[in-house]
Structure 1
């Protein structure tokens, strides 16, 4: 006679099988929902997707955003992952910022990226000779932030943090930080904020430019005068080998009490930009303005642009020359003269050459 299988063991075996099946299904679901969406064959095709996490966004909201973007398979899996794993006990939290993520990343990889704050880095380049207003327009055109926000942030910098900055703005019309936002290429975390950009540029000035001035043994110019004059040299010099000579001309004119007669200061004053076909007009250079160095002897009230390292160094080491004048050719170089008569002769010759190369209208 066959022995009966004990009912208790039978029930236990059935229950064990059901639990095993449920466990396997749960495990299989877990592996599926936390795995990368892009398969191994399509990983190379997975394009970066930007996720913006605003300050104060909850973990649940992040999961919903990730699912909506198709970066994870399940917001529920995200919620379970952030509760069950070490994220629950670890110090810190999910960091605000813009992240560049991919469907080729698994859920744990995405979670780790946002938890550790590995935000997207963006770059921007400010050329030598740009004014703050040109920088503001650039940032707006790049889609970083409105130009007015940058100008407003520039007027709110704490002098306690940068005690070497000028104490006051020369006029309410022109920014106080003009000349001190160091031109360079920068990397900055996204989303880009105006105050963060300004801090980075002032820090670079402090690191690169300020030591050049501090290491100068004989200081004939104050820091503000140095930056001021260097900004004019920067906007006048096109060919690098002429930079020290141009600085020498301006130094000579300052020592003799002559007006600098620099076109860029007039352009800055009136917000205009001359071209070969549209030079400055006599009525413009004769219009009174604090920044018009055709009328006012000495330096303008403050800098007109951000000078680069080379112009800052040239201003402290001007060429020892007896030139007092220079006029631009149309190839970036200049003709230098010792006397006003020579200067006027050079101007006429350049104008005649320009007229001779213009296409005939007949």
Structure 2
């Protein structure tokens, strides 16, 4: 009796179904996605693909969180994503989305602290950023290094401030180690104090060394520094005064007014930048003891009072001609 041959049709059918399903899965992995416009997508610390898939579906970036997770496991080269914010373009495929979330193209958000910004305004800038969280108080004056700092959505303001202060500690240590014998600063704190005055006294970067040299000379000779910004600081905590200084304020006795005290103020009057600190630690070699504004944001320097008085007369004549007086 002849043995009946087993039909191969069911096996072929199963194979075709498997191929079809895999093709459907693979096709969905690289197909154009449903996202109608570019979005910013945030990945929090420790968030996994499972929770992110639900968010992606909710924001219309993928059609199905379940299928996305299945395809990622079968076809994705790893599912470890990075913390941060990412831009997902219109129509991005599921494959592209996963590669974006695994990559290094994190959106850089920067908060800028300009040179000479006092600490009260640093705190205000942090508080004005609605994407940061938590409270923050004005840090100690001179403890923040002016620079641009990365931050992430939802990050505590105190954490961002901590990075700013750590940057100042690092910069001050590096610059202090390279100080010149000409510096009058006996400690890093004294360097910060004098640098804060230099920062406030000139609007021209190329003058920093000269201004530092002038004030260094005054410190050595035991002269009054007579720096106008030290009058203003106790009044506004470093913010612009918005008017002329009053005679009573010039004569005020406090820990900052260098018109009524010899030596350095009791603390910095702003957050000095790296260049101002470097200028104080390596001041220009000069005999200058006096300076007056030249009308361009810079100063005219003088070694003697006679020279200085002549420069002041020229400055007053210029201001009168401009209608400032």
Q: Name the TM tier (shorter chain).
A: 0.7 to 0.9
1:182 aligns with 2:145: yes
Corresponding residue number in structure 2 for 1:63: 53
SS of structure 1 residue aligned to 2:223: coil
- After superposition, the Cα gap between the structure-2 partners of 1:149 and 1:293, relative to the gap in structure 1 and judged at 3 Å, is farther
C-alpha distance in 1, partners of 2:324/2:206?
32
Q: Could you tell me how far 1:292 is from its partner in structure 2?
A: 2.3
1:53-109 per-position Cα deviation (integer Å, ceiling 9, x unaligned): 33464533311211222222321212323555678xx7x954543222234543234
Pairwise CA distance, 1:234: 1.5
**CA deviation after TM superposition for structure 1 residue 300, in Å:** 1.5
Instruction: Name the counterpart of 2:22.
Output: 27
Q: Provide the C-alpha distance between the structure 1 equivalents of 2:221 and 2:58, rounded to a whole number of angstroms.
A: 70
Question: CA separation in 1, counterparts of 2:154 and 2:251?
Answer: 45
Structure-2 separation of matches of 1:266 and 1:20: 87
The answer for the alignment partner of 2:135 in structure 1 is 149
What is the rounded CA distance, in whole Å, between the counterparts of 2:279 and 2:47 in structure 1? Answer: 51
**2:288 aligned partner:** 323
Question: Which residue is equivalent to 1:300?
Answer: 265
Return the alpha-carbon distance in structure 2 between the equivalents of residues 99 and 203 of structure 1.
27
Q: Could you report, residue by residue, the CA deviation over 1:111-143 in whole angstroms, capped at 9, with x for unpaired residues?
A: 344356764322343322222233333344555
2:248 is aligned to 283
Partner of 2:119: 132
| 1:39-118 to 2 correspondences below 5 Å | 48-55=38-45, 57=47, 59-84=49-74, 93-103=80-90, 105-115=92-102
Q: Which 5+ residue runs of structure 1 have no aligned equivalent?
A: 1-5, 153-174
CA contact (8 A) 2:292 2:301 kept: yes
Distance change in 2, residues 1:81/1:265 (3 Å): farther
Contact 2:132 2:152 in 1 (8 A): no
1:33 touches 1:74 (CA, 8 Å); kept in 2?
no
Structure 2 residues without counterparts, runs of 5 or longer: none
Shift of 1:332: 0.7
CA distance in structure 2 between the aligned counterparts of 1:236 and 1:204, rounded to whole angstroms: 23
Q: Give the match for residue 13 of structure 1.
A: 9
Work out which of the residue numbers 138, 144, 160 in structure 2 matches 1:197.
Answer: 160
RMSD: 3.7
Return the TM-score normalized by structure 1: 0.72
Aligned length: 318
Q: 1:246 and 2:211 equivalent?
A: yes
What displacement does 1:24 show? 4.5
